[in-house]
Amino acid sequence: MDTPEKINANDSTPNNTFLSTEGVSILDSMEETVSCRSNENDNSLAVHEKPGYALRSYVEKFIDTKIGPVPVIKTRLGKDDIFSTFYVRCGIRRYEYKVSPGLYAIGDPDEDSEVLVTANFKLTFDVLRKELDGINAWILVLDTKGINVWCAAGKGTFSTQELVKRITENHLEKIVKHKQVIVPQLGATGVSAWDVKKQSRFRVIYGPVRASDIQAFLKNGKKAEKQMRQVTFTMYERFILTPVEIQTILKPALITAFVLLLLAGIGPDLFSISSALQRGGVSILALAAGIFAGAFVTPVLLPFIPSRKFALKGIIVGSIAALLPILFAASAVNHMAGYLALFLFSVTISSYLAMNFTGATPFTSPSGVETEMKQYIPVQFASLVISLGLWIYSAF
């Protein structure tokens, strides 16, 4: 999404990274970019425009600083931000949804204003800026390769080295005199306050978990209340993660559905198109039931399902969901082996997808996830092989 490398490398303007090529994608607003009419009224924006490029829709204006012009960003999300958030929540172009790393301003900051550090995943960037209405502050965006703070800290891109690099490159010591940066608490695993201080002379203050608490945090003298340090994982927070989970498996699911149609046609007549359509439809329904149970129901109802093992949670929910294809299988299956095959297949899919959700929850630890995978993946593989064998056997 950010295409600074396409801009003339000989251009000395320090803000070309806040420009985009016209029509690059749906994430670049055509409604809110600076038009000829707005340029007549706001020279601070017009001076930064370049032929063939448009200012990012979240840039309101530029302010002059000791290091040159710095973009002031809006705290109110535009229509393009809202629509693109929906696409990203569904997993569409997820890894291209990022902003250029560097220094931004909110409101009218000065040398006494706070510096808030964040990731260059635009969803994270948007969540932070919309919570800063009425605040004068600087935002230092790290290059996390379009990954959110928590995951980037674990992957090593939201790191001590990257923070020191951005402090140095943006000459932050010329911007603020207090030499402090506020780092999200979820980035603490990747950022060593001691090393940052040693290498940049900037002190790291760990802020709250949620951006919604940042105003209260600042008003409280940069001290976090207990609830500001606690990670939540509410039903809504789990629900909004499910579209990405489902979108991720759509392609493998379509391939699997095609294979199921082929397997369903195998029978006494070698291959039957009518059997492929009839039995294949039931097996695809079992696949859909497993996906729905493992990638949607299990995450949403996570705390209410018995067991601490995600794979076992998926088995429980999948066992209930498997009743649906079995009810519809009467006209297509005339052998107990077929019913058992549908049940095992649906439950296996549900268990595997539920276990996948361990990477998106604060309920697990890396060692716990590794142990669970070692325990259940062999079981899931064996169950899948048995179900396919029974399904083919039931056709004869």
Q: Which two tokens stand for residue 52?
A: 């063939």
**Are 131 and 174 members of one domain?**
yes
**Are 210 and 357 members of one domain?**
no
How many domains in the chain?
2
| Ranges 86-100, 159-173, 272-286, 357-371: which has the least confidence | 357-371
Of 167, 198, 228, the last residue of a domain is 228
pLDDT tens, position by position, 164-207: 999 999 999 999 999 999 999 999 999 999 999 999 999 999 99
**Are 210 and 264 members of one domain?**
no
The predicted model scores a pTM of 0.70
Residues 6+ positions from 58 with CB-CB distance below 8 Å = 73, 74, 78, 81, 99, 126, 129
Short-list 183, 154, 95, 89, CA closest to 362: 154
Task: Specify whether the CB–CB gap between 53 and 19 falls below 8 A.
Answer: yes
pLDDT tens, position by position, 284-338: 999 999 999 999 999 999 989 998 899 999 999 999 999 988 888 776 777 888 8
Determine the pLDDT at residue 327: 84
CATH number at residue 67: 3.40.50.11600
Does the pLDDT at position 85 exceed 90? no
**Are 241 and 382 members of one domain?**
yes
pLDDT tens, position by position, 5-44: 333 333 333 444 566 543 333 233 322 333 333 333 445 6
Q: Report how far residue 329's alpha carbon sits from residue 338's, in angstroms, rounded to the nearest whole number.
A: 9
> Per the domain annotation, does 16 fall within a domain?
no
Q: Report how far residue 96's alpha carbon sits from residue 394's, in angstroms, rounded to the nearest whole number.
A: 46
Q: Which residue range is the domain that position 269 belongs to? A: 237-393
**Are 81 and 107 members of one domain?**
yes
**Are 94 and 222 members of one domain?**
yes
Determine the pLDDT at residue 321: 95
**Are 247 and 371 members of one domain?**
yes
* Predicted confidence band of residue 359 (pLDDT cuts 50, 70, 90): low
Q: Report how far residue 132's alpha carbon sits from residue 77's, in angstroms, rounded to the nearest whole number.
A: 12
